[in-house]
Amino acid sequence: MMYVRWASDFRRISWKLGMQAITRIIQPLALVTLVVYAGACNSDPEGEANCAEAPLEVPDVLPDPVGSGPTFLPSMQVAVEADGKLVVAEASDTVFRVEPASGDRVILSDTYLDFPDKIDAVGEGPRLWGSIDMAVEADGQLVVLDLVFHSVVRVDPATGNRTTISDPAGSGSGPDLGIVTGIAVEADGHIVVASRDGGGRVLRVDPVTGDRSIVSEAGKGSGPEIQGTLGIAVDSNGALLLVDCRPSLLRIDPLTGNRTIVTSNDVGAGPKLCMPGSLAVEEDGKIVVVDQGLVALIRVDPESGDRIVVSSLEVGDGIPFLEPRDVAVHQDGSLIVTASTTDELGLLIRVDAITGDRTAFSLGLCEARPEGACTDERYQRFYELVFEVAPLCPLGPLTPAGCATCQEFIHRFSDDPPEVLEAFVEESIALFEESLVTGMCPEYELP
């Protein structure tokens, strides 16, 4: 089940990086995400039965590098800008821009913590702590949904500057966004957010004031109750499309909040849904949904609810999906899917919307330590030991922080006081050096 995969994702990343400290960054995100998925979805017997029939093994995904620039970490969200370039948000504090032709990557916005070897941040403003979804506004500004801070943050793509639009700390009034799962922008510029709070609801956020109001929930709008929100999108008619943990796809009237089922395992023909998550709307109005349990991309007819597999381990040629996360529709008609490699890096896959063929078009690998030493000898030794210990571990080559230099590597650890970080580094150095003597991979337990 995907709920287990989420937990193992973060455990493997933490283990491979050889750091307990990294878990202090992503464990809060992992725990909240587990609440979203397990609490919302894990109680549906039919969904569990469908997932039990899903593929258990995915072939190794170890493609050659494509494109230059910083490497993605897993669990990414993707959106398409008006000029066809892609923007990608990691489940942390980094937003990238990707050239669709070359796959080249640049950091569009990022924050760096105040360590002794602090390097320049990209953009100013509040930190993104747990990006869970992203959308593009009509004027090209990016709106990022932060799962940890329960906030909507606007990112200027020209400068990387970040501004909080709405959060529980005073930006905007109205019901809190709560445990957020998806974001989309309506034609008039208002922002809609899917949330697990209240049993599952959709809220509307004023893009200027940040004020929040409820569009649909158990007490607002008629129709099938929301049983747990996941992804959200807006179709060409202005209706809201919400992936629900039933599992199903709901259509929501943006004015009344009334809900109808577009497709479910009882509505529409085709493969049974297992764990649908993110979604996007194609130019002809058809809806593509990432089913993480089926490891597949599903197309839904918006009228009949019928479902077909666009691309999966059995449909389409090319690089296999490994833990697909998000999908976007490019102007050329292709589908852009975020996924992972066996070595726990993020990559972008272009899917032919007709054949289902898959091509990796943006991925970076780290085969050696990059230049850029830490001035603190203990940090530098720690960084080097991470690489030296990696071959002892069964999870394959180590790729710390996406080919980061020592300085970049250290900044990603935590917001802990310097003395806490220093104690951790000292303990880790001792543990790693012991591993080199014994020839055994160091064992870590998540706190």
Say how far apart CA 172 and CA 189 lie, in whole Å.
16
- Close Cβ partners of 404 (under 8 Å, ≥ 6 residues apart): 70, 370, 412
Contact between 165 and 172 (Cβ < 8 Å) = yes
Q: pLDDT tens, position by position, for the chain (447 residues)?
A: 222 222 233 323 333 333 333 333 333 333 333 334 434 454 445 545 566 556 656 777 777 778 888 778 777 899 999 999 999 998 777 899 999 999 999 889 987 544 444 445 789 999 888 889 999 999 999 999 999 899 999 999 999 999 999 999 999 999 999 999 999 999 999 999 999 998 899 999 999 999 999 999 999 999 999 999 999 999 999 999 999 988 999 999 999 999 999 999 999 999 999 999 999 999 999 999 999 989 999 999 999 999 999 999 999 999 999 889 999 999 999 999 999 877 667 889 999 999 999 999 998 765 555 566 777 888 888 888 877 877 776 544 344 444 566 766 666 555 557 777 788 888 888 888 998 999 887 775 433
CATH numbers and ranges of domains, the chain:
2-43+366-438 (no CATH), 76-362 (2.120.10.30)
Q: Evaluate the CA torsion angle 211, 36, 147, 141 in order and state its sign.
A: negative
Q: Which of 105, 160, 157, 110 is closest to 131 using CA atoms?
A: 110
pLDDT at 363: 83
Q: In 62-191, which residue ranges form alpha helices assigned H by DSSP? A: none
Distance separating alpha carbons of residues 202 and 238, to the nearest angstrom: 14
CA distances in angstroms from 112 to 19, 31, 73, 261, 415, listed in the order given:
18, 23, 16, 44, 10
Tell me the three state secondary structure of residue 419: helix
> What predicted TM-score, i.e. pTM, was given to this entire model?
0.79
Tokens of 207: 């893009």
The distance of Cα 225 from the centroid of its chain, to the nearest Å, equals 26
- Count CB-CB contacts under 10 A for residue 351: 24
The closest alpha carbon to 400, from 94, 22, 69, belongs to 22
In the sheet where 259-264 sits, what is the strand order?
A: 229-234, 240-244, 248-252, 259-264
Token pair, residue 89, equals 């948000």
pLDDT of residue 319: 93
Judge whether 71 and 365 are in contact, CB under 8 Å: yes
